[in-house]
Structure 1
Amino acid sequence: MKIALFVTCVNDTLFPGTGRAVVAVLERLGHEVVFPEAQTCCGQMHLNTGYPAEALPLVRSFTGAFEDYDAVVTPSGSCAAMVRDWHGKVAGRAGDQELERRAAELAPRVHELSELLVDVLGVTDVGAVFPHRVTYHPTCHGLRMLRLGDKPASLLRAVRGLELIDLPDAAECCGFGGTFAMKNPDVSAAMCADKIGNVKATGAEILCAADNSCLMHLGGALKRWRSGVRVMHLAEILASTG
């Protein structure tokens, strides 16, 4: 299968290794991965901050970049949720019915990585080896909007040598929420502290999630607390061969 990679702004600028890991996993499974160079931001930041008109051109450019592909994968639950749940609505509310139709046709073909692997490709064992103690944080968009459920955990359980440790109160938000962390820093810091306390209680070496935005937030706190716990994106663990 030829699969288009939507790498996202955060990964492209701050965590390029995650995009490379997605490619490594899919190519190991025998699939061709292409990178449409016309891709830009999905518009999530603009919409979440109250600027739907500014998000509209980004909806248009995303649709144009990806609509010719049968499958699109992204290592970000929040960006996948933006495309699937909001692109058509942004176009419709702007009165662009043609773009609304095109965005609606593309939306079901856009998948977060664990969705693509488990639901579309029917794979849980990707041939990864990672002999470490890992705990998994289900991010809000993945948990509540995409309803990923057990998909990421099933992939982690199939990794050779990996010990998956349940995270207490896993469903609680980490406190990032994009601009929420900047607009409500005290609340965000308190939420983050609760999550970090639960992570440390697991005794895990690695905190894993499917969104680098949340891992950036939590990883900074883990370093400041000198916890010794590292953060890794799900794709990076699945790409590991020991």
Structure 2
Amino acid sequence: MRVALFVTCLADAMFPQVGRATVELLERLGHEVVFPEAQTCCGQMHVNTGYQRAAVRLVEHQVDTFAGFEAVVAPSGSCVGSVRHQHAAVARRAGRVALAHRAEELGARTYELSEFLVDVLGVTDVGARYPHRVTYHPTCHSLRMLRVADRPLRLLRAVGGIDLVELPDAEQCCGFGGTFALKNADTSAAMLSDKLRNVLATGADVVSAGDSSCLMHMGGGLSRLSVDTRPVHLAEILAST
């Protein structure tokens, strides 16, 4: 299959190893991965902060950039959620009916990594090996918007050598929420504190998730606590051999 990598802003600017791991994993499974260099921000932060007019241009650019690919895969439930559930609505509010139809078509073939592996490729054992104690945090957009359910856990359970431990109150938000963490800093910090308390209670070496944004938030908190537990993206674990 010819797959386009939708790398996302955070992976491009701050966590390039996540994009590389996604490519390595998909190529190991026998697929051609293409990186459309024209890709930019999908516009999620514009939509969420009320800049609808600016978001329309980004929706149009996203549709044009990823035209012609059988599948588009991103290591981010948050960004895939925006493409699948926000883009068409943004176009319709702007009176761009044709663009809305194109956005819906693109959304239907844009996948978060774990759902692409399990639902499209039909695999759970990707040949990974990761001999560490790991706990998994299901991010809000992947859990509630995309409803990826246990797909990431099914993939992690098949990883060789892993000691996968359940995270208490796993479905509670880590407190990031994009601009929420800036506009509601005290609430965000309290939510993060609860999340990290549960992460550390597992005794895990690694906390994993499918979104770099949440891992960045938790990683900052773990760093300030001066503990050994570290954040690692799901793609990096699945790419390990």
TM range (shorter): over 0.9
Specify every segment of 5 or more residues in structure 1 that has no aligned partner in the other structure, as ranges. Answer: none
- Residue 36 of structure 2 aligns with which residue? 36
Does residue 1:142 correspond to 2:142, yes or no? Answer: yes
- Residue 124 of structure 1 aligns with which residue? 124
Q: CA deviation at 1:67?
A: 2.1
For 1:28-79, what per-residue CA distance to the aligned partner results, in whole angstroms no more than 9, with x for missing partners? Answer: 0000000111111100011111111111100000000112111000000000
- Residue 174 of structure 1 aligns with which residue? 174
**Letter paired with 1:23:** V
State the alpha-carbon separation in 2 of the partners of residues 110 and 67 from structure 1: 11
State the alpha-carbon separation in 2 of the partners of residues 173 and 64 from structure 1: 33
State the alpha-carbon separation in 1 of the partners of residues 80 and 123 from structure 2: 20
State the alpha-carbon separation in 2 of the partners of residues 104 and 130 from structure 1: 37
Q: CA deviation at 1:18?
A: 0.3
- Residue 160 of structure 1 aligns with which residue? 160
Q: CA deviation at 1:227?
A: 1.8
Where in structure 2 are the equivalents of 1:221-240 lying within 5 Å? 221-240=221-240
State the alpha-carbon separation in 1 of the partners of residues 79 and 73 from structure 2: 10
Number of aligned positions between the proteins: 241
Question: Secondary structure at 2:161's aligned position in 1?
Answer: coil
Q: CA deviation at 1:207?
A: 0.2
Question: Secondary structure at 1:4's aligned position in 2?
Answer: strand
Q: CA deviation at 1:106?
A: 1.2
TM-score (norm 1): 0.99
For 1:90-109, what per-residue CA distance to the aligned partner results, in whole angstroms no more than 9, with x for missing partners? Answer: 00110011101111111110
- Residue 53 of structure 2 aligns with which residue? 53
**Letter paired with 1:209:** A
- Structure 1 runs of 4+ with >2 Å offset: none
Q: CA deviation at 1:240?
A: 0.6
**Letter paired with 2:106:** L
For 1:153-191, what per-residue CA distance to the aligned partner results, in whole angstroms no more than 9, with x for missing partners? Answer: 000000000011000000000000000000000000000
**Letter paired with 2:19:** G
**Letter paired with 1:210:** G
State the alpha-carbon separation in 2 of the partners of residues 170 and 67 from structure 1: 36
State the alpha-carbon separation in 1 of the partners of residues 105 and 194 from structure 2: 40
Identical positions, percent: 64
- Residue 25 of structure 1 aligns with which residue? 25
Query: Does 45-54 or 188-197 show the bigger shift?
Result: 45-54
For 1:125-162, what per-residue CA distance to the aligned partner results, in whole angstroms no more than 9, with x for missing partners? Answer: 11101000000000000000000101000000000000
For 1:216-235, what per-residue CA distance to the aligned partner results, in whole angstroms no more than 9, with x for missing partners? Answer: 00000001011210100000
State the alpha-carbon separation in 2 of the partners of residues 230 and 82 from structure 1: 27
- Residue 78 of structure 2 aligns with which residue? 78
**Letter paired with 1:117:** L
Does residue 1:69 correspond to 2:69, yes or no? Answer: yes
- Residue 5 of structure 1 aligns with which residue? 5
Does residue 1:109 correspond to 2:70, yes or no? Answer: no
State the alpha-carbon separation in 2 of the partners of residues 180 and 105 from structure 1: 30
Q: CA deviation at 1:3?
A: 0.3
- Residue 206 of structure 1 aligns with which residue? 206
State the alpha-carbon separation in 1 of the partners of residues 136 and 163 from structure 2: 11
State the alpha-carbon separation in 2 of the partners of residues 164 and 67 from structure 1: 38
Specify every segment of 5 or more residues in structure 2 that has no aligned partner in the other structure, as ranges. Answer: none
- Residue 215 of structure 1 aligns with which residue? 215
